[in-house]
Amino acid sequence: MDIIWEELTSGLPNVRQLVHVLIRLIAATLLGAIIGIQRERAGKPAGLRTHMLVTLGTAVFVLACSGVGMSSDALSRVIQGIVTGIGFIGAGSILKLSEEREVQGLTTAAGVWMTAAVGVAVGLGSLGVALLSTLFTLIILSFASRVEHQVDERRAEQVEDKNN
């Protein structure tokens, strides 16, 4: 039984360390949920579960690597791998519609990428940076789309005026 307990607590030398890890994992999950809820409400394909899993996953990578005592150089390479991997996930969400000459999914890709950055920040213990970046992400996703719609409507009106 002692061997099982040792394996389960490996990388967590004491209760204080366990509490730090729990706080970071909960924070990553909640911050991902906040962004994911906004994307769900907007009807986007990458929603609540995707964003929660991305923040939690990236935080776990960073925490696990930090927990085994990786050097900052090695941790930097892990983070580089995360950024690259998330880039591939984001690339999969981007579609080019040839008939409309329109590209869709860029905001989804950028949102998933940003969510990974939040997870990395949480994993590194920069909860303030993670919280602020989540707030800025929400502002951008919620309010910038309104501005874009207004600009698009004005453009359409100008094109219509030129055609008449």
Per-residue pLDDT of the chain (164 residues; tens, 9 = 90+): 888 888 877 777 788 888 999 999 999 999 999 999 999 998 888 889 999 999 999 999 999 998 888 999 999 999 999 999 998 887 777 765 666 667 778 888 899 999 999 999 999 999 999 999 999 999 999 888 788 778 878 887 777 777 76
163 Cβ contact partners less than 8 Å away, ≥ 6 residues apart: none
> What amino acid is encoded at 89 in this protein?
I
CA–CA separation, 71 and 133 (whole Å): 26
Instruction: Give the integer Cα–Cα distance in Å for 119 and 26.
Output: 11
- pTM of the complete model: 0.82
